[in-house]
Amino acid sequence: MVPVAGRDRVRGYNHPVARPVAELEREDLELEVGGARLAARRLQPGIAAAAAPTLVFLHEGLGCIEAWRSFPERLVRATGLPALLYDRRGYGRSSALDRPWGADYLHRAALDELPGVLAACAVESPLLIGHSDGGTIALLYAAHHAPVAIVAEAAHCFVEEAARAGIRRTVARWERGNLRRRLERLHGANAEPVFRSWADTWLAPWFDGWSIIDALPAVRCPALLLQGVDDEYATPDHLAEIAAGLAGPVHAELLDGCGHAPHHEAPAVVISLVARWISSWLTPASPAERALGGDG
């Protein structure tokens, strides 16, 4: 367990991680993937080598590009690696949903949409950074493809009452209006369809048996797993189940003092953990090692 008291200092992860990087170039894109228009954003640091992996950010079930806030830029500066963010169909500035969600909605996002996005952006060496639904998508993609590595934060691998209780509380917030207004700022006309799809799917009796546990042994790439002790939507059983199920090298951290979104609640801690984990297995000549000064 990693304590996050003070938010900026963690034993073993207290070195500076945001060393000077040439000014980031930001490019907003519109992709055509599977007949849909998807909004995307590239972040390019000046020091990134041609063969460097690309950080590919996979947002949560109510998220989008803008919901990541400054976290992607800060992680790019910490690692020296380029990044790609995108809004899945139905989210943010992307096309509206074209059909109701089914029990396979995360599989379709991982195995149909994500490969299309990577191909459209010519990303050959993805390093997936997924939060919540995005973490599950990263795991499912890695079970069928060969990403460089994955970071799965607050990923789900089965349905439990803790998740449904958290979602029922979120539905109440939506009905009171504050959450609705915030999501409308992020998603515009997509806000209500996305919210109802997410909440109704996870609360539906037909979703009871959903699980990706059987897929986990097919994941062989390096994996960093993060979860907050006080996650509002999951117990630590998810972190333990995923860590035990993966076939590749795994590093798991249960973050004390954090809920469902440690990258927002303790960003300096998460950036340090991710950057140093990446630097531990990239070659010493890599951009991430140079950006971190080569120290372990």
What CATH number is attached to the domain comprising 158?
A: 3.40.50.1820
102-104-108 Cα angle (round to 5) = 110
Asked whether residue 257 is domain-assigned, the answer is yes
The residue range of the domain holding 128 is 25-291
Render pLDDT for 224-249 as a digit per residue (tens, 0 to 9): 999 999 999 999 999 999 999 999 99
**Which structure tokens are listed for 195?**
């919210």
Region 140-158 average pLDDT: 98
> Domain for residue 20, yes or no?
no
**70: in domain:** yes
Q: Is the pLDDT of residue 91 over 70?
A: yes
167 lies in some domain: yes
Q: What is the rounded distance in angstroms from the CA atom of residue 104 to the CA atom of residue 108?
A: 6
pLDDT for 33-50, tens place per residue?
999 999 999 999 977 666
DSSP 111: I
63 near 91, Cβ under 8 Å? yes
Q: What is the pLDDT of residues 176-228, one digit of tens each?
A: 989 999 999 999 999 999 999 999 999 999 999 999 999 999 999 999 999 99
Q: Which residues contact 116 (CB under 8 A, 6 or more apart)?
A: 33, 34
Exposed, middle or buried by CB within 10 Å (0-12, 13-18, 19+), for 183?
buried
Is the pLDDT at 13 greater than 60? The verdict is no
Rounded Cα gap, residues 133 and 64, in angstroms: 12
* Residue position matching structure tokens 């995307």: 40
Return the pLDDT at 20.
Answer: 46
> 150 in helix, strand or coil?
strand
In a domain, 272, yes or no: yes
Q: How many domains is the chain partitioned into structurally?
A: 1
- Give a yes or no: residue 1 inside a domain: no
pLDDT of residue 1: 53
In a domain, 95, yes or no: yes
Flag whether pLDDT at 118 surpasses 90: yes
| Sheet containing 250-255: order of strands | 25-33, 36-44, 83-86, 54-58, 126-131, 149-153, 223-228, 250-255
pTM over 0.85: yes
Residue 15 forms part of a structural domain: no
143 pLDDT band, cuts 50/70/90, is very high
Three-class SS of residue 97? coil
